[in-house]
Amino acid sequence: MNSGIAINGVGVVGGFGYGISALGLALKRPERFTENVTIQTSDGPHTVPVYLADTSQLTNYLPKRALRRIDHYSRMALLGAFLALEDAGELESDRKRMGVIIATGYGALHTSFDFMDSVIDFGDPLASPTLFSNSVHNAAAAHVSIFLKATGPSLTVSQFEMSIPSALISAVSWLEQGRVDSVLFGGVDEYCDVLGYCLHQFFGYNGNDIKPFDFERQSAIAGEGAAFFLLSRSKKTDSSYGFIENVKVSSMVNGEPVIPEGSILFIGADGHVQCGRRYERFLSEDLPLTAYSPLYGSMPVGPGFDMAVAALSIRSGRLFVIPDNMGIKNQSKSELITQKIDSRPIYCLKIGPGGGYGMIALTSIK
């Protein structure tokens, strides 16, 4: 598949801040973007780092009053959506032929548990209808469509780590078939205390830094955020953020992913040992290779952030060097990524714990 679908705008919010400028700054001056939160564990309360997203800037686009009943999950999606449209210069455009596609691994976690709180605290007959209706995974897409008056098709996909590449296949398909003129495409996932408890029960305490290239040690740190893109079919041969060259979702049952020679590879390793080891073989291939999870954290829609970094790299014409403390084993790889991108495609590869994988390839030329 060579879709020729252009990325016209990018909107991101995460632990690093909000907007493409904040992401660019974070890439140039990486630091620790986590905050400490206290979680309940079987050994008592623990303080752990988490990448948290601040959505207060959403009031730049919507009045506070309109946001009263909008939860954090939908606010992150809304902020990502507005930022992507603004970045594309399309805040004021007509959206009758714009589709909305949102990927999420876990959906509105806070609201789902808040709804159960209402049942447990007040009894079945007094469960909260507002919390229930906002707990569905497609609540974010609904709010995006309502606030943006987007009356085209809407799709929400939940495929854990494969949510982004899986949903992107549908976005490309809609555009190729002419169903819509543009797609506001994004991923969103949120952190909550219960998730923190679950991660601690499964993986224990993992330290303060994600080490994506340390395949022997669990170092994942939970993150939350949203990464959105305005996509369209383009007649032009150039696009500042590049084009989607290829999207593939498959399983290693039928063979390992193949990255074409001459490509650049972003691996989605985010400190999970079980998945991380599956990336190890790519270190021995002669590919410029890097990982950016230490900027945004570990979450199912992480590939959306890799896609945003790839788009920004294409716009900049060169890759962003990640610091050594992120756990690169092979220094020559680090040197390789200082090269210019030129016309080489960037492959964003995510491998799931079950052996499923997703690949998104961006290129600067159509």
Q: Residues near 171 by Cβ (< 8 Å), separated by ≥ 6?
A: 5, 99, 101, 183, 185, 231
Nearest approach in angstroms of CB 124 to other proteins is 5
Residue 130 or 325 with smaller CB distance to other proteins: 130
**How many whole angstroms separate alpha carbon 296 and alpha carbon 204?**
20
Nearest approach in angstroms of CB 215 to other proteins is 21
**How many whole angstroms separate alpha carbon 269 and alpha carbon 116?**
33
| Beta-strand pair 264-267/346-351 | parallel
Residue 32 or 149 with smaller CB distance to other proteins: 149
Nearest approach in angstroms of CB 90 to other proteins is 16
Nearest approach in angstroms of CB 191 to other proteins is 13
Nearest approach in angstroms of CB 344 to other proteins is 25
Residue 136 or 321 with smaller CB distance to other proteins: 136
Q: Residues near 160 by Cβ (< 8 Å), separated by ≥ 6?
A: 105, 300, 352
Residue 107 or 186 with smaller CB distance to other proteins: 107
Residue 198 or 335 with smaller CB distance to other proteins: 198
Contact 266, 362 (CB under 8 A): no
Report how far apart, in Å, the C-alpha atoms of 36 and of each of 32, 39, 75 are.
11, 10, 22
Instruction: Count the Cβ atoms, other than its own, within 10 Å of residue 35.
Output: 12
**How many whole angstroms separate alpha carbon 276 and alpha carbon 268?**
8
Q: Which residues pair with 39 in a beta bridge?
A: 46
Which helix (H) or strand (E) segment is 346 a member of?
A: strand 346-351
Nearest 5°: the CA angle 289, 290, 296 is 155
Nearest approach in angstroms of CB 82 to other proteins is 15
Residue 124 or 286 with smaller CB distance to other proteins: 124
The size of the chain, in residues, is 366
Residue 79 or 195 with smaller CB distance to other proteins: 195
Residue 139 or 231 with smaller CB distance to other proteins: 139
Q: Which residues pair with 64 in a beta bridge?
A: none
Nearest approach in angstroms of CB 99 to other proteins is 9
Type of residue at 197: Y
Q: Given CA atoms 154, 160, 163, 164 in this order, what sign does their dihedral have?
A: positive
Contact 143, 75 (CB under 8 A): no
Contact 74, 128 (CB under 8 A): no
Nearest approach in angstroms of CB 290 to other proteins is 26
Go through 158-191 and write b for each residue having 16 or more CB atoms within 10 A of its CB, e for each that does not: bbebbbbbbbbbbbbebbeeeebbbbbbbbbbbb
Nearest approach in angstroms of CB 240 to other proteins is 27
Residue 207 or 354 with smaller CB distance to other proteins: 354
